[in-house]
Amino acid sequence: MARRDEPAVVWPLLAAQPVLGDMRVRETGLVVSAGPVLLGLDVNAGRHLLVPLGPDEPLREDRTSHGVHIVDRRLLDGERSQRFADVACRLPHLAELFNVLVDEMLDSLERQPPPGPAACHAVLERWRELLEHERGTLLGTEQLAALVAELWYLREIVERDPARRLDCWVGPHGDRHDLRRRNMALEVKATLVREGLLVEIHGHEQLEPPDGGQLYLAVMRLERIDQDGLTVPELVRSLLEMGVDRKQLVDLLDRVGYRLTDSTAYDQFHFQVRDQRLYVVDARFPRIIASSFVSGVMPRGILRLRYFVDLTGEAPVSLPAHELDALMARLAA
């Protein structure tokens, strides 16, 4: 089979083509029994995945989701008419999410015997809840900086993991640490402050190691710049290109308030790494944990605890650079 082009690459190519009819199309490199699977761009810049159908092949149309429909469509190629199952993106703000959805549909069409519209229906059903989410408030600069740092470390771990697992990113599920595999955990902090190195700690459990394990603290100093820096959409795309489970990644991002539908807005937020440090969190590290209290628990009446750790001075000492690579490998194992 020919190499499959990524949908995100194809849409701009189609947009540059002259409009000769109501649909500009390009073959994906994937062929099913009724012919080549196409990507299409209509005259309103709407995006389509077009799966060819036989003349009498049944199709169950699906208009349940507001943003993505599967409908029966005929296209003319000269004198020849061809039926397609048309997976159509109906809302412009879903374009980035639709790219990911189409990628998964193409994978499913390639994998499942017999390939056909049923594979597209199954993928749409899996993604339906995320497609129906209402657009929320955009994340602020500090929240994006924190997410850049977490995704950077997640990418480092996934890159070393042949299985491309995302299960180590436990923070979105409410875990007290950001990244953990078995009894090894990494808490990630980002700061945009130019002078000093202060990190905010949330609660008395955040710097508690996992049971019987070891906790590390990664601190990344970021600076917002105009262009050519790290962005959240870029980090997300690089994880998707590595072959992680698309739905799992989008769901994790959704849990932390990041929507793929807002990628265009977030593309404007570029960050440059100015400093990066790794600490082992042990008895010598400055922290407030349960054992810091006489009773071994938070005093009654204290509802919330937040404090800052000053890492500006000589102590505590950050680990050498090779220790970070070793830790990433252990978290990937």
Task: Judge if 49 and 23 occupy the same domain.
Answer: yes
Query: Does 136 fall in a domain?
Result: no
Residue 230 maps to a domain: yes
Do 81 and 154 lie in a common domain? no
* pLDDT score recorded for residue 11: 87
- 231 in the same domain as 84: no
- One digit per residue, the tens of pLDDT, for the chain of length 333 reads 344 677 888 988 998 888 767 899 999 989 888 999 999 999 899 999 999 999 889 999 999 988 999 999 999 876 788 999 999 999 988 999 999 999 999 999 988 665 688 999 999 999 988 888 776 789 999 999 999 999 999 999 999 999 999 999 999 999 999 999 999 999 999 999 988 899 999 999 999 999 999 999 999 999 999 988 999 999 999 999 999 999 999 999 999 999 998 998 999 999 999 999 999 999 999 999 988 988 888 888 888 899 999 999 888 999 999 999 999 999 999
Assess contact for 38 and 5: CB atoms under 8 A. no
pLDDT of residue 4: 62
Angle of helix 141-159 relative to helix 321-332, nearest 10 degrees?
A: 70
196 located within any domain? yes
Three-state SS sequence of 103-152: HHHHHHHHHCCCCCHHHHHHHHHHHHHHHCCCCCCCCCHHHHHHHHHHHH
Say how far apart CA 224 and CA 270 lie, in whole Å.
Answer: 6
Domain limit, last residue, from 76, 110, 131: 131
153 and 126: one domain?
Answer: no
Quote the number of domains for the chain.
2
Pair (125, 145) in one structural domain: no
Give residue 86's identity as a one-letter amino acid code: D
**Cα 15–chain centre separation:** 26
Establish whether the linkage from the previous residue to 299 is cis, with ω within 30° of 0: no
The range of the structural domain enclosing residue 84 comes to 7-131
pLDDT at 216: 98
- Buried residues in 130-143 as b, exposed as e (16+ CB within 10 A): bbeeeeeeebeeee
In-domain check, residue 261: yes
Residue 96 lies in a domain: yes
Statement to judge: residues 54 and 157 lie in one domain? no
Burial class (CB in 10 A: 0-12, 13-18, 19+), 36: middle
Q: d(Cα 73, Cα 84) in Å, to the nearest integer?
A: 5
Same domain membership, residue 120 and residue 217:
no
| Residues near 97 by beta carbon (within 8 Å), at least 6 away in sequence | 130, 131, 250, 260, 261
DSSP code for 169: B
pLDDT at 17: 86
Flag whether 2 is in a domain: no
- Residue 309: inside a domain: yes
Residues 150 and 202 in one domain: yes
Same domain, 87 and 218: no
Examine the domain organization and report whether 96 and 190 are in the same domain: no
Which of 277, 254, 284, 286 is closest to 327 using CA atoms?
Answer: 277
Last residue of a domain, one of 113, 131, 149: 131
Same domain, 292 and 154: yes
CA separation, residue 313 to residues 140, 201, 286 (Å): 29, 18, 12
Q: What DSSP character marks residue 157? A: H
Residues 146 and 99 in one domain: no
| CA 91/CA 82 separation, integer angstroms | 25
Picking from 72, 107, 131, the residue at the C-terminal end of a domain is 131
Residue 231 domain-assigned? yes
